[in-house]
Amino acid sequence: MRIRRTALAVVSAGLAFALAACGQNAAPSTGGSAGGSTAPAADGVKVGVILPETDSSARWEGFDKPMIEKAMRAQGLDPDIQNAQGDEQKFSTLADGMISSGVKVLVIASISSDGGSAVAAKAKAQGIPVIDYDRLNLGGTSDYYVSFDNVKVGALQGQGLAQALQSKPGAQVIEIEGAPTDNNATLFYNGQQTVLKPLYDSGALKLVQKQAIDKWDNQVGGTTFEQILTANGGKVDGVVAANDGLAGAIITVLAKNGLNGKVPVTGQDATADGLQAILRGDQYMTVFKPIQEEADATAKLAAALAKGDTAAADAVATQNTDDPKGNRQVKSVLLTPQLITKDNVKVVTDAGYVKASEICVAATQAACTQLGIK
Taking the complex as a whole, the smallest distance from the CB of residue 212 to ligand BGC amounts, in Å, to 12
Instruction: Please give the DSSP secondary-structure letter assigned to residue 168.
Output: S
Distance between CA 142 and CA 283 in Å, rounded? Answer: 36
Which of 64, 88, 134, 237 is in the footprint of ligand BGC by CB under 6 A?
134
CA dist 74 and 93 (Å) reads 28
Q: Which is nearer to ligand BGC, 53 or 273 (CB)?
A: 53
Q: How far is the CB of 336 from ligand BGC (least distance, A)?
A: 14
Nearest CA to 339 out of 288, 292, 264 is that of 288
Write the interaction track for ligand BGC spanning residues 267-296; mark x where CB under 6 A is met and - where it is not: -xx---------------------------
State the minimum distance, in angstroms, from the CB of residue 201 to ligand BGC: 28
Residue nearer to ligand BGC on the CB measure, 48 or 178? 178
Q: Is the CB of 172 or the CB of 286 nearer to ligand BGC?
A: 286
- Over the window 201 to 240, marking each residue x when it contacts ligand BGC by CB under 6 A and - when it does not, the resulting string is ---------------x------------------------
CA distance 142 to 133: 10
- Residue 70 in contact with residue 295, Cβ under 8 Å? yes
* Binding status of residue 243 toward ligand BGC by CB under 6 A: yes
**Closest separation in Å from C-beta 149 to ligand BGC:** 11
Binding mask 143-182 for ligand BGC (x = CB under 6 A): -----------------------------------x---x
Q: Where are the beta strands (DSSP E) in 33-170?
A: 45-51, 77-83, 105-108, 130-133, 144-148
Among positions 41-60, residues that touch ligand BGC (CB under 6 A) are: 53, 56-57, 59
| Cα 207–chain centre separation | 28
User: How many chain residues interact with ligand BGC (CB under 6 A)?
Assistant: 13
Classified as helix, coil or strand, 318 is: coil
Least distance between ligand BGC and beta carbon 241 (Å): 10
Q: How many CB atoms lie within 10 A of CB 129?
A: 22
Positions in 63-122 near ligand BGC (CB under 6 A): none
Q: Are the CB atoms for 282 and 265 separated by under 8 Å?
A: yes
As measured in angstroms, the least distance from the Cβ of 104 to ligand BGC is: 25
Q: Residue 250 in contact with residue 241, Cβ under 8 Å? A: yes
Helix, strand, coil content of the chain in percent (nearest 5): 50, 20, 35
> What residues contact residue 233 under an 8 Å CB cut-off, 6+ apart?
none
What does the binding site for ligand BGC look like in residue numbers (CB under 6 A)?
53, 56-57, 59, 134-135, 178, 182, 184, 216, 243, 268-269
